[in-house]
Amino acid sequence: MINNDNPNNIQKAKTCNEACAQLFPQASKHCQAFIETESCNLNEPSSLNLLDLNDDFWVLTLENAVFVASENQFRQYDPASGIYGPVSESAIIQQILSSLNQCAPYFPSNLNYESFANLKNRTRLKSVVERARDVLKVDDSYFLDHKRLHLSFTNGVLQIDTGKFHPSDPAQPVRQTLPVKYDPEAKCEVFLHSFLAHILEPDDIDLLQRYLSQVLEGINHSQSILVLTGDAGWGKSSLMKIVGGLVGWNRVGIVREQLFKNEFELAHYAGKNFLFHPDMPTSFLDRPEASMFKQLVGGDPLWCDVKAEDERMVVEGNFPVVLACNGKPKFHIDEDAPAWLRRLVVLSFKQPGHEQHFGKMAELILQTESAGILNWLLAGRAKLAKDKLQLTLTTEQKARAATLLLASDSPSAFVRSALVKRRDAELGVVELYEHYQEWCRNNQVRPFASKQFSQSAKQEIEIGLGLKYRHDLGSGSEGARRGWKGLALVGADDCGKG
């Protein structure tokens, strides 16, 4: 900070170091600005020469600047945004040059200005910048937005466990903020009563609040995947447009087909607050590679390749994941149904009771109620903390996830729950498919086609019950039937429910 309280005092400086010390007191506490020497000659008696810069002094004239080693990047506090934004090396050099020129009018009259001009070349100033990398070096932990339980907004930093709010200040260093202003009194009446209340049941709104609260920190404490189901136009995309706008779309990782095909795709998720698929096909998770999603939410470290770099990076799999689907997604179970069941949170959207355009409503809500939605999410975070950072689901919500998985593996589930070995019994393949269809109706799942069912049932019956598919069952109207000997339904009273 320049000391202009008494400029006449600066003008009377006897040495260049004295002038610089009065202009930049924060730097002069540690060192002098120049190496000076006096020399006498006939033309210019007692002339003052500047032999060299003191690098440390000019580094310390850089106000609120740091060098982040992990980024290989200088950052400097911007009062307008309240963040430490990136600055180029050229900008750092320009600031040092500006500080040098600022001192010049206050130098003593016997200064040999040629000696001063010789020190202002960019080659010499670049060595000051190199020194700045060491003097100003900080690691990621220096910034509050990297610290657990701290959320940074456009007007300051909130510590969510204590509720303490600190207005933006260089002493509260952050690199990025959520694009919303913190206002503890703000409400979101339109969002809750004119939007969510028309597309979700109250228990599901409460579950949504607790799950989405995790996107503020970007940590999936519950280690679960949120699946949004319902027809197109029922508000799924509009909801996520609001959430993405609140967090900032630069902090959202978009899930694409390339995740299963491109080795560099995973690296794009580094530093994101949550992952989102805006229009997931029903078959997207029906492949062996989909097990990756359990790693993305389960806290596992994931190796990923970075384009144009030789070294791999590690991404920690603790992302909140939101997958929106217009149908009922299918899953590749692979005998891992319990693991999927622990991970899945399913919200079924209902047809709205009004004809309002949700897209325009979402834009209006984001413009007028962002601070209120932020408070709603913070309240959800408090609920989550009360439940030890785990999601508590109602019986209906648990059944919804179980039914979704059941539909993905219904032939195997039918065999395991509805069939039993019994001496002298037999079941034909056509008869078995009819019983399977009835079982699906009772369990409210869509049955597989006959051919798909038969292939899966054959394998499950042989592995689980030790019975082989045969071609010599008792004759029917068209000759010998195909099916299984020694196979029967568990009982008329039991086969209706899985």
- Condensed to tens digits (0 to 9), the pLDDT of residues 78-115 reads 999 999 999 999 999 999 999 999 988 888 888 888 88
- Condensed to tens digits (0 to 9), the pLDDT of residues 243-270 reads 999 999 999 999 999 999 888 999 999 9
- Binned at pLDDT 50, 70 and 90, residue 493 comes out as very low
Phi, psi (deg, nearest 5) at residue 33: -80, -35
Question: Going by CATH, does the domain composed of 409-489 fall within 3.40.225.10?
Answer: no
- Condensed to tens digits (0 to 9), the pLDDT of residues 306-324 reads 887 777 888 999 999 999 9
Whether the pLDDT of residue 403 is over 60: the answer is yes
pTM, whole model, 2 decimals?
A: 0.81
DSSP 107-175: S-TTB-HHHHHGGGSHHHHHHHHHHHHHHTEE-GGGSGGGSTTEEEETTEEEETTTTEEEES-TTS--S
| CATH number of this structure's domain 189-404 | 3.40.50.300
In the chain, where are the structural domains located? 7-66+87-135, 189-404, 409-489
pLDDT at residue 355, rounded to an integer: 67
- CA–CA distance, 115 with 343 (Å, rounded to integer): 70
Burial 266-293 (b: 16+ CB within 10 A, else e): bbbbeebbbbbbbebeeebbeeeebebb
Give percent of the chain with pLDDT exceeding 70. 92
| Cβ-based burial of 23 (10 A; exposed 0-12, middle 13-18, buried ≥19) | buried
pLDDT at residue 478, rounded to an integer: 60
- Binned at pLDDT 50, 70 and 90, residue 150 comes out as very high
Strands 252-254 and 274-277: parallel
Average pLDDT, stretch 226-230?
96
- Condensed to tens digits (0 to 9), the pLDDT of residues 438-480 reads 999 988 888 999 999 999 999 999 999 999 999 888 765 666 7
Average pLDDT, stretch 419-444?
91
